[in-house]
Amino acid sequence: MNFAPKVGPLVAEFLSGSTALFLGYFLLPYKFQMHAEAGFAIPAFGLLAWILGTFIDAVRNLAIESLFDIWWEIDWKFFIGNRDDVAGIEEYFFSFYRIDMDMAVAILLFLVAGPLVPYAFLDGPIVFYSIRTGVALTLLMAVFLLDGGLLRAEVRRYMKK
């Protein structure tokens, strides 16, 4: 039995967590000097990105997968079947689906909860985004959602073959 971690989920978690952290770093009014203590900041950023990305992945699993399975159900048992079939679908479609959906959730969570971070954790004001920032992030999120939906449809098609 192979217990080695798969790269796809780790990449999806790290990228979505990094996205949320970078959005906060560049769009929230508090400017932290990450480069001042790089010996500490870089590993701390990596660990925090992974933890936040794992949370984002859990939100995707609980919210999006549950909703999508109502209309576009995936036979999850397929992923414990024939290794060759599973590897092909996972490598070419499902890993990218997971990344797209995790990125969309990261952007959505940032749009909703980001303005509250300075207030909740830093004794600062609730932040309001400019209209351009909100529209740009919403469009970016929509692209990830659309691509994720199309990739999920591909996964379903290949599972039926």
Task: Output 32-39 pairs: Cβ under 8 A, ≥24 positions apart.
Answer: none
Nearest to 57 by CA among 83, 4, 87, 20: 20
Nearest to 109 by CA among 155, 43, 64: 64
**117 confidence band (pLDDT: 50, 70, 90):** confident
Give the pLDDT confidence score for residue 1 in this predicted structure.
47
Tens-digit pLDDT profile for residues 74-116: 777 777 777 776 777 777 788 888 899 999 999 999 898 877 7
Q: Are 59 and 107 in contact (CB under 8 A)?
A: no
**Distance from C-alpha of 45 to C-alpha of 27, rounded to nearest angstrom:** 17
Answer whether residue 130 is part of any domain: yes
Q: How many independent structural domains does the chain possess? A: 1
Which structural domain, as residue segments, surrounds residue 87? 7-160
* Percentage of residues of the chain with pLDDT beyond 70: 82
Segment 133-139 mean pLDDT: 93
What is the pTM assigned to this prediction?
Answer: 0.80
**36 confidence band (pLDDT: 50, 70, 90):** low
DSSP state of 61: I
Considering only 49-53, 57-61, 72-76, which range has the smallest mean pLDDT? 72-76
Answer whether residue 1 is part of any domain: no
Answer whether residue 2 is part of any domain: no
111: which 2 tokens? 């749009």
Does pLDDT of 25 surpass 80? no
User: CB burial class (10 A; 0-12, 13-18, 19+) of residue 68?
Assistant: middle
Answer whether residue 149 is part of any domain: yes
DSSP assignment of 99-148, as one string? Answer: HHHHHHHHHHHHHHHGGGHHHHHSS-PPP---HHHHHHHHHHHHHHHHHH
Give the pLDDT confidence score for residue 44 in this predicted structure.
83
Answer whether residue 142 is part of any domain: yes
Does pLDDT of 5 surpass 70? no
How many Cβ atoms from other residues are within 10 Å of residue 48's Cβ?
15
